[in-house]
Chains A and B, each alone.
Chain A
Amino acid sequence: MTANFTLLFLAIFVGATYWGWTWPYIAKMMPLYVAAIPGVILTLVQLYRDGTQWESQEKNRAKGIEMDEVHNIKLDRQTELWRTLAFFGWFIGGAVGVWLLGIIYSLPALVFFYALIDGKEKLHTSLIMAMVTYGLVWGLFEYTLEMRWPPGLLIGY
């Protein structure tokens, strides 16, 4: 799986090199010579390491520290996978809702349904959360500050 993600980086760097190859020097110096071409080389080395499990061997020796949060979820894979997919489903659904229905309706709806269905919160708790969200999105921005949000594709305001 790690190798797949490294492959994604490789594809991005190769694509960037390809698309930028015909640009004048001033335009391609940074994206190609500083970023993409070194990126291709680095990802090839990383792919080799991923393929030969280099990092797990290297781990036997002492090392520095992780400079980013460590992925430390301790669930069985199946559960982790389903929950991750569910999470992204909600998040992407919320984004789609903003696009289709507009932010004023979709964000309170997202909050309400997530709290109720995934979070198994009580109905009144979910409703209160949705109302607070509505108060923020519509009450603060549209009503008080008079800053209009764009309407959704399906619903205009």
Chain B
Amino acid sequence: MSDNNEFEPKIIAYVCNWCTYLGADLAGTNRLEYPTNVRIIRLPCTGRIDFNLIVKAFEMGADTVLVSGCHPGDCHYTSGNYHARRRWMLFRGLLDTMGIDMERIHFTWISAAEGAKFQKVITEITEKTKQLGPYEAYRKVCKVS
């Protein structure tokens, strides 16, 4: 975080080991620069991602959560990402009703060959989060009452 008063978002990314993690590796190999705000948590497959992890990330002070995996049809485990996609579709309906800021949760498919896409996505969501500001609403929820 910089010393000036500019807000530096905290971004947590849950990524799948075979596609997006390797895509991020490729971004590294190609020395593609992006903001430092993201922290990647490696999982075997997006199928492993339970929505509770997203809620927990917000509880821990994340301002934005990214979930990323293999393109449909390319899952290393054949269908883990399809199950994840289905869960996400249902989860969004619930979050919407609760008024949780949908602009702070991003889902992407980034393959192992898409280092540039990884760079682009991280850069864009960091920028977007800067505009949105810190996730005050959820911080308020988490304050001990």
Pair from one complex? no
Chain A residues near B (Cβ < 8 Å): none
Q: List residues of chain B with CB under 8 Å of any chain A CB.
A: none
